[in-house]
Amino acid sequence: MIIDYNAEYFNPEHVLECGQIFRFTPFKEGYFVCSADKACYVHSDGVKTIVKSDDCDYFYNYFDLDRDYSEIVNRAKVHNIPLLTRSCEHFKGLRLLNQNREEMLYSFIISQNNNIPRIKGIISRICGGLGEKREYLGESYYTFPTSSKLAAAGAEFFRSAGCGYRDAFLAETSARVAQEGISHLENLDGNTLKSELLKYKGVGAKVADCVALFGFGKRDSFPVDTWVEKVYKEDFNGTLTDRAKITEYFRSLFGEDAGYVQQYLFYGKRVNL
């Protein structure tokens, strides 16, 4: 099955390389992307972006293709912030993903104080050790393990996968999720959701904001890391040093578009646009 979409507002490189996802690899003319227990092949010729999958409904939602990003870009430009305007134009093909919630919880626990190549390697080893082997388009991949499988593996497995001090966080959080699930988090407002996420072992403010944004679709979330702090100081002449206050500054400024703006600013600053 195939999805084709206007490439102007769906650039696979912009979507996948901006730090919101870790399970993808270069493949043929584009990328092989895995989410939960599913896989797709996505590529673009500059006019159309094509997604091939056995579950196109899943990936239509995953890539947020029901949303008009031209409106988001136009609203962002109204703020007349030079870096934001440049990023919106250069990365107008960037879209926020709707990812598997449990996978996001564990992935962003792994991501803290870490770099993207290492994060991808750790997640790949966890999937290879505990996931189910599958194949799509002749390419083998492993599903993301269930919380029950993660919990049964224990801290020693996570340590052997290269998680370092995060091993205890993953062991304790997966045990809790395996026991109680996370469905009780689904209909919470953004502030309440963040408060609840902070109760999981290994989840700090930035991780909670990332999980809320990329897993629960809370588009008013605004994760703050070193790149965003740099944006705040250099492009907004900010003087605050408390990340929680910086987050609230940006949320107040950009409202329901905060999450989209965060990705434009983060990506633009990271590539020195």
pLDDT, tens digit, 9 for 90 and up, residues 255-265:
999 999 999 99
| Whether the predicted pLDDT of 8 surpasses 90 | yes
pLDDT, tens digit, 9 for 90 and up, residues 66-119:
999 999 999 999 999 999 999 999 999 999 999 999 999 999 999 998 899 999
pLDDT, tens digit, 9 for 90 and up, residues 122-152:
999 999 999 999 999 999 999 999 999 999 9
User: For residue 215, which phi and psi values (nearest 5 degrees)?
Assistant: -105, -40
| Residue 59 CB neighbours (<10 A) | 24
pLDDT, tens digit, 9 for 90 and up, residues 165-184:
999 999 999 999 999 999 99
pTM value?
Answer: 0.94
